[in-house]
Structure 1
């Protein structure tokens, strides 16, 4: 496969560049790029590149997941803003497999902010 086609595949797989910009960089017309996109071999190489990119990104996310979870825990435990705490803890629960229809017993003190958060959660559940 010619170098220009291979470079076009690399650029298309980035998904943040237009066909016009690729055509300009490669000094070909947009029509040429669209013609390549119809070519079976070109399409197969592009799909392969996309699969490789997706696998790389998934692995990168997996590698960082523990750090993200710790950051959410820190927000949930240390934030001075109750809504930030609520959203952080909601995200942790959601991604841990907790189902919002599960019954949960919550012990609260009589503070207004905690009771307000519980009311917000109940309202959200009722809307869904």
Structure 2
């Protein structure tokens, strides 16, 4: 079983920003002791476990932030400006790899028609595509 000092060393290692010398000073041990601990199987196992936990917590936080980002992007779909809505739709579709297929074609159509009419039509086409993807049960990542 690891000592409180060893657990403190692991905490500092996982926290980051500390050198071996600093960790040794904080734990009131020599640098060599820290190096010896790092070779110890039980210490390595506990350190790996702590690192895995930090990674897991970070991934969960990123997922939460991603949800907020997607919510904000979703709000842009209701913007007054058609160009903002179109940009939001393109961003969403690019993220789910749908919009790439018609990107060049859409630009040509906007040039031929008035930009507002073309944007409105493209938005409707894209909304239909989104609906089909969601209805089809494909996961959006």
- TM-score bucket (shorter structure): 0.5 to 0.7
TM-score (norm 1): 0.62
1:26-50 per-residue CA deviation (whole Å, 9 max, x = no partner) reads 1112111111111000000000011
Partner of 1:29 in structure 2?
Answer: 30
Matches within 5 A, 1:14-93: 14-71=15-72, 92-93=92-93
- Which one has the bigger helix percentage? 2
Q: Radius of gyration: which is bigger? A: 2
Moved over 3 A (4+): 70-78, 88-94
Tell me which moved more, 20-29 or 67-76: 67-76
Q: Normalised by the size of structure 2, how large is the TM-score?
A: 0.57
Give, in whole Å, the separation in 1 of the partners of 2:92 and 2:65. Answer: 15
Partner residue, 1:103: 101
**Secondary structure, counterpart of 1:103 in structure 2:** helix
Q: Aligned in 2, Cα 1:99/1:17: closer, same or farther, shift over 3 Å? A: farther
Which deviates the most, 68-77 or 34-43? 68-77
Aligned residues: 104
String of CA shifts for 1:45-69, please: whole Å, max 9, x gaps: 0000111111111111111212123
